[in-house]
Structure 1
Amino acid sequence: MNPIRQTSSLAITSLVAGILGWSLVPFLGTVVAIVTGHMARKEIRNSAGHLDGDGLAIGGLVLGWLAVATWLVGVLVLFLFLGGVAWLVSLG
């Protein structure tokens, strides 16, 4: 008889926060997705097969880390653009 596996609430929270990090609450959702995603994966590993939801936790982590990477690229592009504009202004 197979034991009933319950989905980790932290994994669900991670995925929902990851989605919210891309839409309604960018910074807070991203941080919550990353933190709860790592916590959920540890909880699932330590549950001895009683908890499920590793895919949900990974989905939240991927969404969270992609949001961080997008923010970093955006800030880099902004600084490069403003640096280029300042350089052009200093020439003329």
Structure 2
Amino acid sequence: MSIPAPRQTSSYAVISLVAGILGWTLLPFLGSICAIIFGHMGRGEIRRSDGQMEGDGLAIAGLILGWLSVAMWVIGILLFIVFFGGLAWIAALNS
């Protein structure tokens, strides 16, 4: 009776998760972009491995963290533009 070899975890998936966490803490925008890139690379690597690799959950978690952070950045920038654009519009009306 042979023991099956343990499946290897995708390094890209681990990097994606770590970068996603860093995107919310120490490296706000750069970490999020890296999480998205490595998450997609990790999921592709896992799919191509024919069951020899695992870590799809890690890659998905990194992707979610990365995309949520990027979405928050976009919303924040849009709110900034709308707020200060509105202030400029009100100032122009009062002149």
* Of 58, 63, 80, the match for 2:60: 58
2:37 counterpart of 1:72: no
What is the CA-CA distance between 1:23 and the residue it aligns to?
0.5
Give the TM-score taking structure 1 as reference length. 0.96
* Of 22, 33, 36, the match for 2:35: 33
Partner Cα distance (1:3, 1:46) in 2: 18
What is the CA-CA distance between 1:31 and the residue it aligns to?
1.0
Residue-pair matches, total? 92
Kept in 2: contact 1:3–1:50 (CA 8 A): no
Give the TM-score taking structure 2 as reference length. 0.93
Partner Cα distance (1:2, 1:26) in 2: 41
1:10-42 deviation line (CA, Å, top 9, x unaligned) = 100000000000110011101110000000000
Partner Cα distance (2:24, 2:70) in 1: 10
Residue 5 of structure 2 aligns to a residue in which SS? coil
Question: Unaligned 5+ residue runs, structure 1?
Answer: none
Moved over 3 A (4+): none
Question: Unaligned 5+ residue runs, structure 2?
Answer: none
Structure 2 residue aligned with 1:85: 87
Q: How many percent of aligned residue pairs carry the same amino acid? A: 59
What is the CA-CA distance between 1:69 and the residue it aligns to?
0.5
Structure 2 residue aligned with 1:24: 26
CA RMSD for the aligned pairs? Answer: 0.9
